[in-house]
Amino acid sequence: MPQRPIQFWFRGRLTEVRDVSPQRTVLQWLREDAHATGSKEGCGEGDCGACTVVIGSRDDTARGGVRLDAVNSCIQLLPTLDGKALFTVEDLAQPEHLHPVQQAMVETHASQCGFCTPGFVMSLWADYEMRDAAPSREEVKTCLSGNLCRCTGYRPIIDAAQRAWQQPACKMDRTPLRATLDTLAAMPALDYTSHGQRFIAPRSLAALAQHCETMPQARLLAGSTDIGLWVTKQLRQLGDILYLGAVDELKTITHTEAYIEIGAGASLSAAFAVLVQEDPHWQELAERFASLPVRNAGTLGGNVANGSPIGDSMPALIALDSQIVLQKGARVRSLALEDFYLAYQKTALEAGEFVRAVRVPRHREDAAFRTWKVSKRAEQDISAVCAGFSLHIEDGMVREVRLAFGGMAATPKRAAQAEAALRGQPFSEITVRAAMAALAQDFQPLDDMRASAAYRLQVAQNLVWRLWLECSPDTGQPAPARLQDLQAVQS
């Protein structure tokens, strides 16, 4: 059967792309092939947001059956657009008027050099389209967490986001788009070869499992928020690619009495939304994990499978005793997430095996859960230290405790000695101080450009102390631990 081209909705019609490398990025195609130069190239690593575009995909829960997500086009590979819709800043303005978001940017003087402006506009447009009411300033900040501006300043841009809602409504009609996306979904799964590389996007777990077994050397690709940098920064050749993003079964999130099972293809945005609903103490990490465009594209399964010692989700997941579900052919197995990591960048994955899901135990009313990230920037930054804690206290005694850290060792790891200092002991300042001291036996962190070893150890100890301040019945009302938690003093 002859191979079909890459097909997606672009500029109001179905677009077909042939004879391009499977690892050509969306931004490269836009600027160099489609000559759509409104999207800018800045960092090339999903950090600055100048290249932000919006991806439309089928979603029966969204208005018109189409979900719109802002993503970084510089690290998205072109074949991942197959079956979806692509919108850039050129799509917004009509011949007779600007879009309300663009008009608001003009009226609030929210652009100077203009290089970053298309990216800001696309992030705001996606938010505008997906909302039913004007956002708060805090919600706008979250929306713009992946867009950097070096000359205008953010105040007028935030003003523009809210001012856009004072204009007459200008929502996109998604009915024709959904019909086209349905037509694309009915086509055969993409199996595309060009430039000596093959890109396969199976649409079922069974097909994915079969391809993984027959092509164990193929690169597994989910959100491309890490592998995309291999292409743009390391100039690596990926070889044959197996794309998980077309397998709807991997995007499901299910609840049982014992756990929440998050499919490996579920986006970080979707995963964190469920986790925060289960326990609000996920909220801080959910807001500070990279940026919204990265969370929209990246997956929890990919973050876990990556095996990075600074992956921000793993300490919290390990603290909750989460399980990872693996599949090879028809065989499905699970193991404790902490046992998945064997050494630096080495996991328990077998050849031909892939991550199917992560199982997170349900919230326990008798246990306290906390997770905190320490980095140089509030958003869009790599952790110096990330910690996850689970603590069960009964009659003033520590019955169960799990302390897990990222950035402190070659893998995400529990603090066994610190846990031993707490377990079975009164939850007191003396016991907590002993656990803090024991962290020096658990970890010998490295010095690198993000933080010194001494700083990392002190931060880890301080986070254990913060756990005491927030969870001890003896400390009364917890003291504010973040600037945003401070309240104005009434005179």
Rounded Cα–Cα distance for residues 231 and 104 (Å): 36
- Give the integer Cα–Cα distance in Å for 1 and 408: 52
Contacts 24+ apart (CB under 8 A), 1-6: 1/188, 3/191, 3/192, 3/193, 4/187, 4/188, 4/190, 4/192, 5/192, 6/78, 6/79, 6/81, 6/82, 6/190, 6/192
Kindly state which CATH superfamily the domain 368-471 is placed in.
CO dehydrogenase flavoprotein, C-terminal domain (3.30.390.50)
Measured between its terminal Cα atoms, the distance across the chain in Å is 78
Tell me the CA distances in angstroms from 141 to 101, 121, 275, one per residue in order.
Answer: 15, 14, 21
What residue segments make up the domains of the chain, in order of their start? 7-187, 249-361, 368-471
CA distance 294 to 58: 19
Are β-strands 241-243 and 219-221 bridged in parallel, bridged antiparallel, or unpaired? parallel
Residue in 61, 62, 60 with CA at minimum distance from that of residue 126: 62
pTM of the model: 0.95
In terms of phi and psi (left: phi > 0; alpha: psi -120 to 50; beta: otherwise), the region of 345 is left
Question: How many angstroms separate the CA atoms of 167 and 182, rounded?
Answer: 32
For residue 252, give the 3-state DSSP assignment: coil
Helices (H) and strands (E) counted in the chain, each on its own, are 17, 20
Quick one: pLDDT at residue 401?
98
Strand partners, 324: 335, 358
Pair 337, 325: CB distance under 8 Å: no
Fold of 249-361: 3.30.465
Sheet containing strand 368-374, edge to edge, reads 368-374, 385-394, 397-406, 413-414
**Contact yes or no for 332/264 (Cβ under 8 A):** no
Token pair for residue 379?
Answer: 């958003």
Per-residue model confidence (pLDDT) at position 490: 64
pLDDT in tens, the chain (491 residues): 568 999 999 999 999 999 999 999 999 999 999 999 999 999 999 999 999 999 999 999 999 999 999 999 999 999 999 999 999 999 998 888 999 999 999 999 999 999 999 999 999 999 999 999 999 999 999 999 999 998 998 999 999 999 999 999 999 999 999 999 999 999 999 999 999 999 999 999 999 999 999 999 999 999 999 999 999 999 999 999 999 999 999 999 999 999 999 999 999 999 999 999 999 999 999 999 999 999 999 999 999 999 888 899 999 999 999 999 999 999 999 999 999 999 998 999 999 999 999 999 999 999 999 999 999 988 889 999 999 999 999 999 999 999 999 999 999 999 999 999 999 999 999 999 999 999 999 999 989 888 999 999 999 999 999 999 999 877 655 666 666 666 666 65
Query: Does domain 7-187 bear CATH number 3.90.70.10?
Result: no
Confidence at residue 489, expressed as pLDDT on a 0 to 100 scale: 61
pLDDT at 475: 61
pLDDT value at residue 42: 95
pLDDT at 307: 87
pLDDT number for residue 409? 95
